[in-house]
Structure 1
Amino acid sequence: MNLLKLFKFGQKYMSVCPIEKSLVHSFPEITIIKYIKYGMKYLPPLIVLLFVWQYYMNIEIAITLVTIIFALSLPIQGIIWLGKRALSPLPLNLLEYYNTIQERLINKQIIGAKSIKTTTINFMDFMQLMNLAKSHLDDDTDSNQFLDN
């Protein structure tokens, strides 16, 4: 797969993935998303600091540029990993939760029976379904069962 496509899927997956404390232990991508956002927030001041450090300490520019390129590549690597994760097929243990949530949404007539995906279900589909369930099934006491596991 093309790196640019993986990057785009990673950005989309970052926006789709629900950030909840109860899901952190089950999905490593939530932690990765938190680190990416943290890096994007604090990386520009770090790069300026590296340039100032290079100027005042008389360090070779090549060392500073390599350090800056490495620092800039970390969030990009994380987003590409998220894109790869978004397109990977859902494991069998999560497929059961996917089907349960989908049945509940169909029973409440939130989604139609025609919208059932027959091809391989990936993490992107699962997170989109979880967002839909979170917004429509919050009033049920047993609907958040998948969040507690």
Structure 2
Amino acid sequence: MKVSVFRLFKDGHQYAKRWPRHAVVAAFRETRLVPLLRLMEKWVPAIAVVNAVLHWQFLHAYWQQGLVTSLVILSMPLQLMAWFGWRANQPLPIRLRSWYWELRDKLKQSRAVLERPSVGGPTYMDLASVLQKALAVLPPEQH
């Protein structure tokens, strides 16, 4: 499946917003990386500017390296956002797929409105949607 770069970033942003903050999903990488992304979005531009200014001010002969370093620093949140976009479109492994269908069935029994899963089978984006809905609707013992 070929995805454009803009779609990759858009999916990554939606996936990071949709991923729940809960102990049920503590074992997933996303649980640690979403707060890191939020932190990077806030502080990385300032760090890159400070790096460029310091290179210009104190290491005038090396300002080109400072500029390149600042560009690399600025690309870090974009790299993480691209990873989230890639991860959002990956099909679920078999173990997670069974958990996805189990949660989906419990949500149907509680008459919750659900989105349809992706065409090729459930993806991590679908799992994030179902988890978000399950954590909001179902009682804790049914997660």
Deviation of the 1:99 alpha carbon: 1.1
The equivalent residue for 1:81 is: 83
Relative contact order: is structure 1 or structure 2 higher (C-alpha 8 Å, sep ≥ 6)? 1
Letter in 2 for 1:143: Q
The equivalent residue for 2:14 is: 12
* Percent of aligned positions that are identical: 24
**CA distance, structure 1, for counterparts of residue 46 and residue 69 of structure 2:** 14
**CA distance, structure 1, for counterparts of residue 117 and residue 15 of structure 2:** 18
Deviation of the 1:22 alpha carbon: 4.2
Q: Specify whether residues 11 and 118 from structure 1 end up closer, same or farther in structure 2 by C-alpha distance, changes over 3 A only.
A: closer
Deviation of the 1:142 alpha carbon: 1.8
- With normalisation by structure 1, the TM-score equals 0.84
Q: Deviations over 1:103-148 (max 9, x none)?
A: 1111111137xx65473110001110111111111xx24213xxxx
Deviation of the 1:95 alpha carbon: 0.9
The equivalent residue for 2:51 is: 50
**CA distance, structure 2, for counterparts of residue 21 and residue 38 of structure 1:** 20
Q: List aligned pairs for 1:1-149, cutoff 5 A.
A: 1-25=3-27, 27-59=28-60, 60-111=62-113, 117=117, 119=119, 120-137=121-138, 140-144=139-143
Deviation of the 1:81 alpha carbon: 0.5
Name the Cα RMSD after superposition.
1.8
- Unpaired runs of 5+ residues, structure 1, are 145-149
Q: Specify whether residues 49 and 117 from structure 1 end up closer, same or farther in structure 2 by C-alpha distance, changes over 3 A only.
A: closer
- Unpaired runs of 5+ residues, structure 2, are none
Deviation of the 1:19 alpha carbon: 2.0
Runs of 4+ in 1 over 6 A off after TM superposition: none
What is the DSSP-based 3-state SS (H/G/I as helix, E as strand, rest coil) of the residue aligned with 1:110? coil
Higher deviation after alignment, 60-69 or 43-52: 43-52
**CA distance, structure 2, for counterparts of residue 124 and residue 82 of structure 1:** 10
- With normalisation by structure 2, the TM-score equals 0.87
How many residues matched?
139
Deviation of the 1:46 alpha carbon: 1.0
